[in-house]
Amino acid sequence: MRRLVSACLITCFVAPGAPAEAQGRPSASTSRLLTCADAIALVKQEGAVLLAPPKGPPERFVRDRSFCTFSEIAELRFVPTRDNPQCPVGYRCREPGFEEWDW
């Protein structure tokens, strides 16, 4: 019984601090199969999606900074889609460099 109570207490105090990206699984799509409007709508609807560009690993795109962690910034990203070689689908979360901090 003590173990059960201990496990519940640990879960109550540790779980709320879990990162936001671990709470929901973003959907995955290939950017070349979507039109630019469809890709933008997908990011806006889902909030966070994985899009696979023609070259390289899939990237996580978010609707706005609220899908990033506290210390990350949202950077506008472009990916090639079926009808647009540079479609502004959404933002990518990344840690800012030292020179980018707004002191």
- The per-residue pLDDT for range 65-74, each reduced to its tens digit, is 999 999 999 9
Predicted confidence at residue 17, as pLDDT, reads 44
Mean pLDDT of the chain: 77
In a domain, 54, yes or no: yes
Which DSSP symbol is given to 74?
A: E
Model confidence pLDDT, tens digit, residues 19-46: 444 444 444 567 778 999 999 999 999 9
* Higher pLDDT pick, 28 / 92: 92
pTM for the full model?
Answer: 0.65
State how far the Cα of 64 lies from the Cα of 74, in Å rounded to an integer. 7
Q: What's the whole-number mean pLDDT along residues 4-30?
A: 44
Asked whether residue 68 is domain-assigned, the answer is yes
Edge-to-edge strands, sheet with 59-62: 27-30, 48-52, 59-62, 87-94, 73-79
Q: Is residue 8 part of a domain?
A: no
3-state DSSP call for residue 48?
strand
Sign of the CA dihedral with 75 first, then 80, 82, and 83 last: positive
Domain interval for residue 42: 20-100
Residue 2 placed within a domain: no
- Domain count for the chain, please give it: 1
Q: Considering the domain boundaries, does residue 12 fall inside one?
A: no
